[in-house]
Structure 1
Amino acid sequence: MKTIRGPGLFIAQYLGSAPFFSDIDGVSGFAAQNGFRALQVPVHDRAIVDTERLEESGYIDGWHAAIERHGLAVSEITAHRAGQLLAVHPAYDGVMDTFAPALLRGDPAARQQWAEQELRRSITLAARIGAGKLATFSGSLLWPFFYPYPPAPPGLIERGFAALAARWRPLLDYADSLGVDICFELHPGQDLHDGATFAAFLDRVDHHPRARLLYDPSHLRLQHLDYLGFIDRWHTRIAAFHVKDAEFRPSPDRGVYGGYGDWIDRPGRFRSPGDGDIDFPGIFSSLTRYGYDGWAVLEWECCLKNAFDGAREGARFIADHIIQTTQRYFDASMRRAAPPDELDRILGLKP
């Protein structure tokens, strides 16, 4: 059996202008001081990593060395914003434009083209540093129709998935050429948000071997999915893992959609690991059972606890849940080989 690696830290929620958080050396030092062994690195902040400088002599080597000086690895590269911008329904153009470079805002076609280029650069980066994994969102053409009232016109859902697959297939092929997995984080607001939608996508990309999953139980919990059964169903596709807790507290006024409330007021809320109601011992046990040997990465998005306590406690939480796998079964010494004749005698088939 294999042992999960960790703890890793998804640094997106920690970036900013303050010392420690404005460059890769600083955030690496912060992570190492809090007990993390790897960084999951987003590409949206050019001060952290500039994908447009990939071909600049020495840039990536120097960037990677800054992380390694702190004893850290890179677990995955992430490009959630670019993935989201690859497929945007026009209803969301205005809000999604905030994720695009300023010069592209108001031009959906140019924005989509930029997103594809950014995803290609991110795949290249993941390959060049040996991470081999890119985590991202799928984007969405169908989210306005996720609740069937009035029912969608016949063929609309199928057409939407076909269009989404057509945008991702060249990227999956490019990733395959470089040995990189694209790990989709199933997330409300994305066309790929549960097992059924991921299965529909797989059908349309010919079950591409590079179409993988970032397993984040918080998004499954808040959709009331069986997040442990999900591992049983999809373990062969799980290639990345966010340790993010959540809770659902039934309310007389708000349901799973939250009533447009802020996170603090929603029945379903993200919490720091151990503060929600997700069964992490069960998750770590299931992933270990199926041989997941990728990283367990903290994603902090708690609506109550501050990020620094979340990081310190989260690193310890992950370390405490990693199962150092056994090298032998407890009853191994009791087992002995027996030839067929003896097996028959044991069963009473022969005198």
Structure 2
Amino acid sequence: MRLGYASNGFTRVNLERAIDGIAACGYSSIELLADAPHWRPGDPTLPIVHALRSSGLAVSNVNVNTAACLWSSPPPESVFEPSLSNADPHVRGRRLDFTFAAIDLAAEVGAIAVSVTSGRVQNDVPPELGLTYFAESLHRICERASAAGLRVGIEYEPALLVERADEVLGLIAAVDHPALGVNLDIGHAVCMGEDPTVIIPRLAGRIWNVHIEDIRGGKHYHRVPGDGDIDFDAVFASLRDVGYRGDVTVELYTCAAFADVAARRAIEHLSPKLAQALDLSTALWPPGDSAWGHARSAPSR
């Protein structure tokens, strides 16, 4: 496991400066925001590639969860629209095209995966029908992503159509594509009343990336690790125990006004906890042991 930081926590600066800032804080990887202000379809990718190479950061994930850049003014209700579960096929098609462009970006920057969300429940569309539309969209996305050597992680989130681990597992079974898994946001799980130490084993083998932040009182507001209630020692131990070898990406889009401070505080709080979990795992499973060699959710391309 390695610690990364999501560029949506640095939205007061352009992407190149965000990359430099995250590297300067000591992170090993970065999640790129495929949305304004860091990227729009058609933007040149060469400056991004050069900035990443100079920084030494790996790309854990490309976040395609929102599409605010498709609106000329702020959207009427949600940055999740146009969504992949919208009843209108033309609206879904617009979001699919956007996602395909982000997949191309992910391939060019050497990312492991892209993440997507379902969008909200529409007032006139029963949730089960919305899930059918979303599953159809996911199949097309997985076909495109797998052809580029990428994985697709569903990020479930409070108040969206897909907001629980059970729903993600149902979609993985329904779509039945090896590229499809979960972009597991620990804070979202906690907000939904889920115990991370219970759901991590259930999702093991399909966890492509992990988002981490702190949560206080079950309210969906991303806080700097250490400022809330989450037991990160238990989270890291659970990830270790299922053989997760991927990225743990700090996501603090709520802290863009003090991005450098938040990023440094987060890594100072999380690094010793992750190191302790990894030291223990090395003692349990020395390099070359089967528990390491068969890590079930290790990203590969």
TM-score range (shorter-chain normalised) is 0.7 to 0.9
Counterpart of 2:168 in structure 1 is 198
List per-residue Cα deviations over 1:96-136 (Å, max 9, x = no partner): 37967xxxxxxx66543221111011112212222120022
1:268-283 alignment, distance < 5 Å: 269-283=221-235
2:273 to 302, 311, 321: 321
1:310-349 alignment, distance < 5 Å: 310-322=262-274, 323-325=277-279, 326-329=281-284
2:2 to 2, 5, 8: 5
Counterpart of 2:206 in structure 1 is 237
- Write the distance in 2 (CA, Å) between the matches of 1:114 and 1:144: 20
How far did 1:144 drift? 4.9
1:258-269 alignment, distance < 5 Å: 269=221
Unpaired runs of 5+ residues, structure 1, are 54-58, 86-92, 101-107, 146-151, 249-255, 257-266, 332-351
**Aligned CA-pair RMSD:** 2.9
1:165–1:125 distance in 2 versus 1, CA, 3 Å: same
List per-residue Cα deviations over 1:260-292 (Å, max 9, x = no partner): xxxxxxx56432101111111011111112121
* Contact 1:143–1:189 under 8 Å retained in 2: no
How far did 1:200 drift? 2.6
1:66-145 alignment, distance < 5 Å: 66-82=51-67, 94-96=76-78, 110-140=90-120, 142=121, 144=123
TM norm structure 2 = 0.80
Q: How many residues matched?
A: 272
Q: Secondary structure at the residue paired with 1:293?
A: coil
- Write the distance in 2 (CA, Å) between the matches of 1:278 and 1:109: 40
Counterpart of 2:148 in structure 1 is 178
* Contact 1:187–1:193 under 8 Å retained in 2: yes
Q: Secondary structure at the residue paired with 2:208?
A: strand
1:51–1:216 distance in 2 versus 1, CA, 3 Å: same
* Contact 1:39–1:72 under 8 Å retained in 2: yes
* Contact 2:67–2:80 under 8 Å retained in 1: no
* Contact 1:272–1:300 under 8 Å retained in 2: yes
Counterpart of 1:343 in structure 2 is none
Counterpart of 1:48 in structure 2 is 38
How far did 1:203 drift? 3.3
Counterpart of 1:213 in structure 2 is 182
Asked if residue 296 in structure 1 is aligned to residue 248 in structure 2, the reply is: yes
Unpaired runs of 5+ residues, structure 2, are 83-87, 287-301
- Write the distance in 1 (CA, Å) between the matches of 2:99 and 2:272: 34
- Write the distance in 1 (CA, Å) between the matches of 2:285 and 2:47: 47
* Contact 2:103–2:114 under 8 Å retained in 1: yes
List per-residue Cα deviations over 1:128-160 (Å, max 9, x = no partner): 2221200221224x4659xxxxxx9xxx44333
1:270–1:82 distance in 2 versus 1, CA, 3 Å: closer
- Write the distance in 2 (CA, Å) between the matches of 1:37 and 1:76: 13
- Write the distance in 2 (CA, Å) between the matches of 1:214 and 1:60: 24
1:204–1:309 distance in 2 versus 1, CA, 3 Å: same
* Bigger Cα Rg: 1
- Write the distance in 2 (CA, Å) between the matches of 1:209 and 1:232: 18
* Contact 1:11–1:42 under 8 Å retained in 2: yes
* Contact 1:186–1:193 under 8 Å retained in 2: yes
How far did 1:34 drift? 1.7
